[in-house]
A and B are shown apart, each in its own frame.
Chain A
Amino acid sequence: MKLNKNVAVSESGLLFNPVTGESFSVNPIGIEILNLIRDEKPEEEIAEAIMAKYNTDKPTFEKDYQDFIGILSHNNLVESHEKTKA
């Protein structure tokens, strides 16, 4: 999973897509996950980091993570699932 190049993420969690001009805000956990994605960590490592810090289990994390990635993908902020898998 890779953030599309040029997508700007501010420390406070505002995402700006310079191609479309759209802005999005994400919550603190969202920022943490985005930073891990930006560091090109695999999903497994992201899951470990989040589960170590927050009181959640693997199935819940996976569901929320996929929802989050789906929203990022829908808004062209990350490379598409197909691309990533290929």
Chain B
Amino acid sequence: MKKPKLNIAVTGLNAIDSPGPGVSVIRGLREAASFDVRIIGMSYESLEPGIFMHDLIDRTYSIPYPTAGTNTLLERIEYIHSREKLDVIIPNFDAELYPFIKLEPKLKTMGIHMFLPTMHQFEERHKVNLNDFGKKYGISVPKSKVLYDLNTVHSLVSEFSFPMIVKGKFYDASIAYSIEQVKSYFNKISAKWGLPIIIQEFVHGTEFNVTGLGDGKGNMMAAVPMRKQYITDKGKAWGGISISDEKMLDMTRKFLRNTKWRGGFELELMKNKDGELYLLEINPRLPAWIYLAVGVGQNIPEALVNLALGKKVKPYSEYAVGKMFVRYSWDMIVDRAEFEQISLYGEL
């Protein structure tokens, strides 16, 4: 039977030292068994490496930053859609999810499908709300506090012991061993990502991640746990291995059952020396290491697309344990004309 050909737009093409998930998502889509693809890249910066990976991405269009507003983004998508007849968009950044979730009904009327968490799910799992989230759903989370003002930093001494984690609302986290360091990270992270800043209790242990897919009805469509083996100075996994841990899968099932999560996700977990699991963060999108899930037998990007199109999808129940991913960097030689094209005309 001939496979349908889908036009799928993907963001997160910044395959850099702190990589966006786009290129890995695209590799999964290119290997999909149920459809063929034409991949449309959507980029924010002219030097996002994915733009120049012509074997993976057929054409790239620049799109406005989320700060430009939802209408500006919609206008740009309407233009891209007029050229490319998009079937599906897969946004891959936390910061762009808010406008895309808002646009989902409108895009659907245009024939463009997405499979995103609801606005309620997106807001509820936010780092700022993690304490309440843990209480509501009976999931262990480290104690945290939200700070809007540098002058309130001193109050932390009575509530937290050192070290403590200083986190940005979207990205970035640093371990602080003194109030001076808390202040320094507060300023540094808030300058980049804005307020609030989240202070989180430091849990000693080993960090694990689970990526997966929820169908929006409480079912686990896919889930693969991974242990980071090689971590960059930005805390990103540069190598990892798939593992088999029933406790992690049980926590993932509980998270999905209770929240009825819709879409891809990544759970950041910490296991302490007693084997207790803490949920540190819920990323509302697929992670940069998603190709490991594809490599161990769960093509989550493919399943996500089929769910977005309203197709019946059989949940994945198995994956290969002990498979590793080892990331590498690669220098592409790019003609200046291509850089000019994407920089000046926003298309390549």
Q: Which residues of A contact B (CB under 8 A)?
A: 6, 8, 16, 18-23
Q: How far is the CB of B267 from chain A (nearest CB, A)?
A: 15
A-side interface mostly: loop
Report how far A22 CA is from B244 CA in the complex, Å.
11
Q: Which of A8, A16, A19, A23 contacts B245 (CB 8 A)?
A: A19
Interface string of B214-254 (1 = CB under 8 A from A): 00000000000011010000000000111111000000000
Interface residues on B, range: 10 to 19
Inter-chain contact B244/A19, CB cutoff 8 Å: yes
Inter-chain contact A18/B227, CB cutoff 8 Å: no
A to B CB contacts below 8 Å, 5 in the list: A6-B244, A20-B245, A21-B242, A22-B227, A23-B241
Quick check: is B206 within 8 A (CB to CB) of the other chain?
yes
Nearest 10 A/B pairs, CB to CB: A21-B227, A21-B243, A18-B244, A18-B321, A21-B241, A19-B245, A16-B322, A18-B243, A18-B322, A19-B244
Q: How far is the CB of A61 from chain B (nearest CB, A)?
A: 31
Q: Which residues of B contact A (CB under 8 A)?
A: 206, 208, 226-227, 229, 240-245, 321-322
Inter-chain contact A19/B322, CB cutoff 8 Å: no
Inter-chain contact A20/B243, CB cutoff 8 Å: yes
Known contacts A21-B227, A21-B229; A8/B244 CB under 8 A: no
Q: How far is the CB of A14 from chain B (nearest CB, A)?
A: 10
Report how far A8 CA is from B242 CA in the complex, Å.
14
Residues from chain B with a CB closer than 8 A to the CB of A18 are 243-244, 321-322
Q: How far is the CB of B35 from chain A (nearest CB, A)?
A: 33
Report how far A49 CA is from B189 CA in the complex, Å.
61
Most chain B beta-carbon neighbours within 10 Å: one of A8, A21, A22: A21
Residues from chain A with a CB closer than 8 A to the CB of B240 are 21
Beyond known contacts A8-B322, A21-B243: 17 more, CB 8 A cutoff: A6-B244, A16-B322, A18-B243, A18-B244, A19-B243, A19-B244, A20-B206, A20-B227, A20-B243, A20-B245, A21-B208, A21-B226, A21-B227, A21-B241, A21-B242, A22-B227, A23-B241
- The closest CB in chain B to the CB of A23 belongs to B241
Report how far A20 CA is from B229 CA in the complex, Å.
11
Q: How far is the CB of B106 from chain A (nearest CB, A)?
A: 43
Report how far A6 CA is from B246 CA in the complex, Å.
13
Report how far A6 CA is from B227 CA in the complex, Å.
17
Residues from chain B with a CB closer than 8 A to the CB of A8 are 322
Residues from chain B with a CB closer than 8 A to the CB of A19 are 243-245
Residues from chain B with a CB closer than 8 A to the CB of A21 are 208, 226-227, 229, 240-243
Residues from chain A with a CB closer than 8 A to the CB of B242 are 21
Q: How far is the CB of A42 from chain B (nearest CB, A)?
A: 29
Report how far A18 CA is from B245 CA in the complex, Å.
8
- The closest CB in chain B to the CB of A19 belongs to B245
- The closest CB in chain A to the CB of B208 belongs to A21
